Chains A and B, each alone.
Chain A
Amino acid sequence: MKVYFKKFLKQFLSSIGMLEAAKKYYQLCIKDCNFNRDRNKILFQAVKNIKKITFAKIRTENYNVLTEAILFKEICKKARLLMNRQEIFFYYPDFFILPWYRTPQNLATIGNLTINYGDVLNKGISGLKRDIEEITQKSGNEIFFKALLEVCNAIEIYSIRVRNFVEKNFPDKEELIDSLYRVPLYPAKNFFDALQSILIINSLLWMNGHPLIGLGRLDQILYPFYLEDIKNGRISREQGKMLLKEFLRALHKGFKYKSNALPGDTGQVIVLGGKDEKGVDKSNELTIFILDIMKELKLPDPKIVLRVHQNTPLEVWKKAVELLSEGLGYPLFSNDDVLIPALQQYGYEVKDSYDYVVSACWEPHIPGVSFDQNNVENLNLLEPLISIFNSGNFSDIKSFNELVEMYKSELKVYTFSLLQRIKNIKFKPAPLLSLLTRCREKDISDGGAKYNHMGILTVGLSNTIDSLLNIKRWIESGVITSINEVKNLTDTNFQDNLVMLFDARTKGLKFGDDNEEVIAISNDIMQTILSVIENEINPLGGKYKIGFSSPAFVDLGKSLPATPDGRQAKEPLGVHISPSHGRLTYLQLFNFSSKLNYKKIFNGAVTDIIIEASFLKKNQHIFSELFRVFFKLGGAQLQCNVLNYKHLLEAIEHPEKYPNLIVRVWGFSAYFKDLPEEYKQLIIKRAKQYENFSY
Chain B
Amino acid sequence: MKILVTNIQRFSLNDGPGIRTTIFIKGCSIRCPWCCNPENQSPYPEIFFNRKLCLREKKVNCERCLISFPTPEDFFTFNKEKYIVKFNNLNGLCPTEALGVYGRELGLEELITILKKDEVYFKSIGGGVTFSGGEPFLYDLSYWLKELKKLNYNICIETSLYAPFENLKKSIGLVDLYIVDVKILSPEKAQKILKGDVNVFFRNLELLVKLCKNNILFRFPIVDGYTYTEENIRLLFHFINNFHVKYIEIFSIHNLAKDKYLSLGREYKDYPTVRKENIEDLKRQIEEKTSCKVNILEI
Contacts and interface: CB of A to CB of B under 8 A. Distances in A.
Interface stretch (A141-149, A451-459, A618-626): A618-626
A499 B19 contact: no
With a 10 A CB-CB cut-off, give which of A506, A632, A693 has the most chain B CB atoms: A506
Interface stretch (B113-121, B184-192, B258-266, B286-294): B113-121
Query: Which secondary structure characterizes the binding site on chain A?
Result: helix
B19 A626 contact: yes
A66 B120 CA distance: 58
A441 interface: no
A561 B14 CA distance: 43
Contact of B97 (A506, A619, A626): A506
B13 A632 contact: no
Given A499-B60, A502-B96, A625 B12 contact: no
A506 B55 CA distance: 13
Nearest to A628: B124
Nearest to A477: B92
B18 interface: yes
B17 to A, nearest CB: 10
A507 B277 CA distance: 45
Interface stretch (A168-176, A188-196, A569-577, A585-593): A585-593
Contacts of B60: 498-499
Contacts of A498: 55, 58, 60, 62
Given A506-B97, A619-B13, A499 B64 contact: yes
Contacts of A618: 298
B207 interface: no
B201 interface: no
Nearest to A515: B117
Interface string A656-695: 0000000000000000000000000000000000000101
Interface in B92-146: 92, 95-97, 117-118, 120-121, 124-125
Contact of A633 (B64, B96, B120): B120
Interface residues of A, number: 25
Contacts of A585: 10-11
B19 A506 contact: no
B125 A507 contact: no
Contacts of B97: 506
Contacts of A632: 120, 124
A586 B13 CA distance: 12
Given A622-B19, A626-B19, A586 B55 contact: no
B125 A625 contact: yes
Nearest to B299: A695
A418 to B, nearest CB: 36
Contact of B18 (A499, A506, A622, A695): A622
Contacts of B13: 619, 622, 695
Contacts of B61: 499
B285 interface: no
Interface string B1-33: 000000001111110001100000000000000
Nearest to A500: B95
B96 A629 contact: no
Given A622-B125, A693-B11, A695-B9, A499 B62 contact: yes
Interface in A470-510: 498-503, 506-507
Nearest to B20: A695
A578 to B, nearest CB: 16
Given A514-B117, A622-B13, A622-B19, A506 B124 contact: no
Interface in A586-611: 586-588, 591
A499 B95 contact: yes
A503 B95 contact: yes
